[in-house]
Structure formats: structure tokens, C-alpha cells
Amino acid sequence: MKDIITIDGPAGAGKSTVARILARRLGYTYLDTGALYRAVAWKVKKAGIDPEDEGLLRKVLEDTSITINGDGVFVDGVDVSREIRTAEMGEMSSRVSAIPSVRQYLLSIQREAGEKGRVVAEGRDTGTVVFPDAENKFFLDASLKERARRRHRELITRSPDITFEATMKDLERRDIRDSTREVAPLKRTDDMIYIDTTGLDIDEVVAEIIRNLRPSGSSDRNLFYRFAAMLIRLIFRLNGGLEVRGVENIPRIGGGIIASNHISYLDPPLISAVLPRRVTFIARKGLFDIPLLGWFIRHYSFPIDRERPSPSTIKEAIRRLKRGELLALFPEGRRSETGQLLEPKRGLGMIVSRVDVPVVPTLIIGSNRALPVGARWLRRAKIKIVFDRPIYCSSTIETTRGGQRAYEEISKRVMSAIRVMKERYEDTGG
């Protein structure tokens, strides 16, 4: 099954938060299967029926419509998103989830949501029953105490009187019920990647999932692109050598930004040639007017006014990132003629503050020696390209609440990472 990511695990392991952020970063649809069972629990309570009476419950569900629209959950057209997030609804949803007719009723809804692909589904049987053929399956877990702490912190905002001890006992009961029920019990299978989230923050968990994603069989690099990349690599390996490090840090799927220093006109083709995925560049608009070069650039880039980024350029970058594309840009906004790093422009921050995708700090060394300023022909020089671990800017976006401050802090943070790389690899020889 293509483009389906499943995240299973016990209550309180962080599935919902992780799945929601992961879906946003990849440009996927988020499917909260747990919310569907909570919606059934809400209907059971509203109808005043015994959740153990399967026959009566089946009749009620026949006349019930449950839909998810974004983060909203609707039962018969009524938005119950907030009402289903109580401890009572959590307990009752665990009870109704053990009833075969309920699981069958919701199974069709879940599978229909996954038919178009590009879905992150989380729950307790998404990888075993709902989407057993998904290419990417994960099982999130954490210690009971840690899961109880997280759940209690979430519940007290709605139920201030609930205690930590009661929350932990409730989780213990749910763990036993979910793992021992006859129909679709919670279990970890061999094809699931296990992640213990105890002691990890949300960004670390999401980053670990992204590092382990297996891309679908289809390639986003056409024959011409692959041939051009192979030719470029060959030329520079013969022209002094081409060393590449950190390719494993490139997100395998989903949106992402390659943020690199810029010291030569060779930088864009070099980056595109060594990446395992196709990349689109945000290029200075003046380059599009150059004969022949402009035609080539137009196929792999879209323009930006480096001094005054227009809203349409920012919107186009966001659109592509949400669609799951990989973009490359130079935070400095222009080529450094001395090889020294320049102050970053706000463009990178403007984009990242609107779409929270991983930013990969990238360092290029030696391309300015291979094609110095004013040179017409290549000179023999070794070139090194290093991709560092991705940076996630969620906390910066939240604390600054967007705006000019966020733009500047994000751009400076990424440029600072590139500066550290430059000091390490140039001064010590890397």
C-alpha cells in the first residue's frame, strides 16, 4: 500500500501529537483513528445505551454519520471535537473498541480515508488491521509512568480534579484491555519500527520516524535528471575529486529545505547532482533572462527577488513544501565572492515560519576554487559537500508567534549551524 504511514502504540505514547506534526511536515493527511472510537463513545452516551449491548449498538450505528474534517470530529453533523477528549470518553472508547461490530463499522471509514494515499494514520491497530500492507509502520511506546504523566498533563486542562494516580490506573486497565481483546488487539509486529519515546521530545520522535521512512517505489527523478546528475558527479570526481557526507540526513520523503552557503555558480548543479531526491531551487530572478541558462534554470527553479521577496514566491515555496517537495535555497541571498559567510536574508525564515519542515544545513567547500569569480573554465580542485542533521524550528515558531522576529531567528539559527560546520571542516580538514 503506497504512501500510508501507520503509528500504533498504547495510550499516552505520544501517537496523536507525533502523527499530527509528521503529517504536517510531510504534507500528508492526518487520520486520528482514536477520535473515531471516541466519537462512537460519545454517541453511546448521548443515546443512553449500554455499550455492552452489541445488538442495540449496531442499530444505533446504522443511523449514525461520523466524519473527520481536518482536526474536527463530527457526529451526525455535530462538532464533538472537544467533548470527546475527556477521561470518561477515553475509558468508554476503550470499551466500545473491543466490540466487533464497532470495529467493522469504523474499518470502512478508515480505509476509505486511506484510498487516496499520503496518509499518516495512528491508533492501536492501524498497522495490523486497517492498513496491514502499509510500507511504513511504527510502534511508539514509553514507560507507564511517563505515559501517565503525559496523559495527566493533557486531562487536567479539561478535568482539573483528576489525579495522577487515577490516570495511571486508568492506563493500566486500558493496556490490559487493548492487548487482550479478541478483536484486533494492540500488538507490535516484526515489520514495525519500535521507538521508545521516554525521555524524547516531540521533534526528536518525529525526526526519528522521518529518518526511518522508506520512500515509495516511484522515483521523482526522470531520466534526463538522473543522467545530468551522473554526468556532473563524474566531471567533478575527475576534476580533483568530489566528497559528499551526510546524505543520510536528507529527508527521504516529504517536504524539506536544503539551506546552503553559496560561493560559486557551481553550487546549484553540485547540490542537485549529489542528492538522492530531486530538488527544486529558488533562484535569483535575473538568471532566468540569461539565454540557454535561463531555459535550463526554468525547468528546475522558480524565481525570487532576493532584496524584496514577493508574497507569490513565498506562497509557491510553501505550496511545494506542503506537496512534499524538496527545496534548496541559499540563506545569504547571493553568492559570496570571498568565500566568507554573509548575513542571512529573511526569506528562509519567512518560509519556515509558515510551513514547519526540516531544514538541512549544508556546507560546500572548494567550488569557488573550481570556478573562481570571473573564471570561464573549470580549474582542478577538490570539492566537499556536507549535509548536517536537520533543524526543526517548531519551538522558535511557537515562542515568537511568527512575524519579523521569527523570520530573523530562524534564518540566523540555520546560518549559525552552517558557520559551525565551516569552522569544523575548513579549519580541521574535516
> Are the C-beta atoms of residues 260 and 364 closer than 8 Å to each other?
yes
Domain limits of the chain?
A: 4-212, 223-427
In this predicted model, what pLDDT tens digit does every residue of 155-192 receive, in sequence order? 888 778 889 999 999 899 888 888 888 778 889 999 99
| pLDDT score recorded for residue 219 | 53
301/209 Cα distance (integer angstroms): 29
pLDDT of residue 85: 86
Domain range 223-427, CATH class: alpha beta
The CA-CA-CA angle for residues 385, 389, 393, to 5°, reads: 125
Q: What is the pLDDT of residue 146?
A: 93
The percentage of residues in the chain with a pLDDT greater than 90, rounded to a whole number, is: 40
Separation of alpha carbons 232 and 234, rounded Å: 5
pLDDT for res 223: 78
pLDDT band at residue 306 under the 50/70/90 scheme: low
Q: Pick the residue with more confidence: 72 or 386?
A: 386
**Range with the poorest average pLDDT among 71-75, 115-119, 221-225:** 221-225
The domains spanning 4-212 and 223-427 adopt the same CATH topology: no
CATH of 4-212 among 1.10.357.10, 3.40.50.970, 3.40.50.300, 2.40.370.10: 3.40.50.300
**How large is the average pLDDT for residues 252-272?**
91
pLDDT of residue 384: 96
d(CA 14, CA 5): 15
pLDDT band at residue 428 under the 50/70/90 scheme: low
Q: What's the whole-number mean pLDDT along residues 216-244?
A: 81
pLDDT for residue 289: 65
Q: What is the pLDDT of residue 405?
A: 79
**Phi and psi, residue 141, nearest 5°:** -145, 170
Tell me, what's the pLDDT at 419? 96
If you average pLDDT over residues 300-329, what whole number do you get?
A: 78
What's the gap between Cα 153 and its chain centre?
A: 25
pLDDT at 42: 93
